Amino acid sequence: MIFYKKGYLLHEVYMKSLFFVLGLLTACGPTDVEIKNGSTDDVQIGAEDHTGSHGTIEEELDPVGVIAASDCQHIDLGDKACNFRLEDQNGETWDLYTHTGDVIVIDFSTVWCPPCQAAGHYTQAIQDDYNSEGVQIVTVLIDGATGGLEPTEQEIDEWVTTHNITTAPVLQGSREKMLDPTGVAGYALGAFPTYLYIGRDMKFYGGHTGFSDEYVRQKIEEGL
């Protein structure tokens, strides 16, 4: 499920072809999701269409993916995010809950997705601009170059090098570790890239599919 402005969860997705020319990166993305606030259109952002658990609390910092618990889920705005642990580009385990108190932007992307590649060029600049304000932008690569297959270490390294990423974490995810169609033990994603925004209280306050540098920065500002 996709998160939107407070009180509005997407129940029906209207897909149509749309290309933007001013600041919106869509590449070859064939679809977009119409984001609404009540009855007024908010913004439309292109995304690559693709539909795709886990669960006991671990004591050790192993990259186990989502750690399901009774007090967290990924279904609506205001939900507390479940912790997750994945390996980053430096071979270290990145743990979501160790960043409690930060504003966290999660970019769920895949190597095969052209809009994801286009968005990746902006990751480090956004991190640099908001680092001093306690913002962390995290890329979680769900697939490698082939849909359904997790990214290899080489693909993670190539992503970091191609997009000149120096400090923003790029995590080696997978469908098994991160996705769950119910949204309880993982994330129910229907398109890439998907951006989710977690406040300093570890609760979701926004999200969208596709990418716009201006819109991502706007959503970050809402969480500061």
pLDDT > 80? residue 58: no
| Residues 152-189 as b or e (16 or more Cβ within 10 Å = b) | eeebbeebbeebebeebbbbbbbbebbbbeebbbbbbb
Residue 217 falls inside a structural domain: yes
**Pick from 37-41, 44-48, 122-126, 207-211: least confident:** 37-41
pLDDT in tens, 29-40: 333 332 223 222
Distance, CA of 66 to CA of 95 (rounded, Å): 10
The length of the chain, given as a count of residues? 224
pLDDT in tens, 175-198: 999 999 999 999 999 899 999 999
Classify strands 103-110 and 135-143 as parallel, antiparallel or unpaired. Answer: parallel
pLDDT for 62: 85
List the domain range (segments joined by +) for residue 160.
65-223
Distance, CA of 103 to CA of 193 (rounded, Å): 19
Number of domains in the chain: 1
Indicate yes or no: pTM above 0.75.
yes
The structure tokens listed for 70 are: 């009774």
Residue 46 falls inside a structural domain: no
Residue 23 falls inside a structural domain: no
DSSP letter assigned to residue 206:
E
pLDDT for 42: 35
Distance, CA of 124 to CA of 63 (rounded, Å): 23
pLDDT for 19: 28
pLDDT for 120: 98
Residue 18 falls inside a structural domain: no
pLDDT for 201: 98
Q: What is the mean pLDDT of residues 65-70?
A: 95
- CA angle (195, 150, 31) in 5-degree steps: 40
Pair 178, 107: CB distance under 8 Å:
no
Residue 52 falls inside a structural domain: no
Question: What is the CATH number for 206?
Answer: 3.40.30.10
Residue 49 falls inside a structural domain: no
pLDDT for 61: 74
Residue 47's pLDDT band (cuts 50, 70, 90): low
Residue 41 falls inside a structural domain: no
DSSP letter assigned to residue 148:
T
What is the overall mean pLDDT for the chain? Answer: 81
The amino acid that residue 134 corresponds to is G
Nearest CA to 167 among 219, 109, 112, 123? 123
Alpha helices in the chain (DSSP H): 114-120, 123-130, 153-162, 175-178, 213-223
Residue 90 falls inside a structural domain: yes
